[in-house]
Chains A and B, each alone.
Chain A
Amino acid sequence: MKRIYMDHAATTPLAPEVLEAMIPYFSQRYGNPSSLHSFGREAREAVEEARAEVAALLNAEPSEIYFTSGGTESDNLAIKGIARRNRKKGRHIITSSIEHPAVLEVCRSLTREGFEVTYLPVTKEGLVEVGAVEEAVCEDTILISIMHANNEIGTIQPLEEIGRLAREKEIYFHTDGVQTAGKIPVDVRSLGIDAFSISAHKLYGPKGAGALFIRKGVRIESIQQGGGHERGMRSGTENVPGIAGLGMAARIAKENMAEESERMRSLRDRMSGWVLKNIEGSWLNGHPDKRLPSNLNFGFRYIEGESLLLHLDALGIAASTGSACSSKKLAASHVLSAIGLSPVDSHGSLRITLGMENSEEDVDRACRAIFDSVKRLREISAMRPE
Chain B
Amino acid sequence: MSQQEYSEKVMDHFMNPRNVGMIEDPDGYGKVGNPTCGDVMEIFIRVKDDKIEDIKFRTFGCGAAIATSSMTTEMALGKTVEEGMKISRDDVADELGGLPPNKMHCSNLAADALHMALEDYRRKIADKKT
Binding site for B on A (CB under 8 A): 302-304, 306-307, 310-311, 314, 323-326, 328, 330, 342-344, 347, 379-383
Could you tell me how many residues of chain B have their Cβ less than 8 Å away from some Cβ of chain A?
29
Interface string of B39-57 (1 = CB under 8 A from A): 1111000000000000000
Binding site for A on B (CB under 8 A): 3-4, 6, 11, 14-15, 17, 20, 31, 33, 35-42, 58-63, 65-66, 102, 106-107
Residues of B within 8 A of A383 (CB): 35, 40, 60
Are the CB atoms of B17 and A304 closer together than 8 Å? no
Q: Name B15's closest neighbour in chain A (CB-CB).
A: A314
Q: Name A321's closest neighbour in chain B (CB-CB).
A: B62
| Complex CA distance for A383 and B38, rounded to whole angstroms | 11
Q: Name B6's closest neighbour in chain A (CB-CB).
A: A310
Given A307-B62, A382-B58, A383-B60, list of 20 further CB < 8 A pairs? Answer: A304-B60, A307-B65, A310-B14, A323-B38, A323-B62, A324-B37, A325-B38, A325-B106, A325-B107, A326-B4, A328-B3, A328-B4, A328-B102, A330-B106, A343-B37, A347-B38, A380-B59, A381-B59, A382-B60, A383-B35
Are the CB atoms of B63 and A306 closer together than 8 Å? yes
Q: Nearest 10 pairs between A and B by C-beta?
A: A325-B62, A306-B62, A382-B58, A383-B60, A382-B40, A381-B60, A343-B36, A382-B60, A344-B35, A325-B38
Q: Name B14's closest neighbour in chain A (CB-CB).
A: A310
Residues of A within 8 A of B35 (CB): 343-344, 347, 383
Kindly provide the distance from the CB of B89 to the nearest chain A CB, expressed in whole angstroms.
Answer: 17
Kindly provide the distance from the CB of A350 to the nearest chain B CB, expressed in whole angstroms.
Answer: 14
| Complex CA distance for A330 and B42, rounded to whole angstroms | 22
Are the CB atoms of A379 and B20 closer together than 8 Å? yes
Knowing A380-B20, A382-B31, A382-B40 touch, does A307 contact B66 (C-beta < 8 A)?
yes
Residues of A within 8 A of B107 (CB): 325
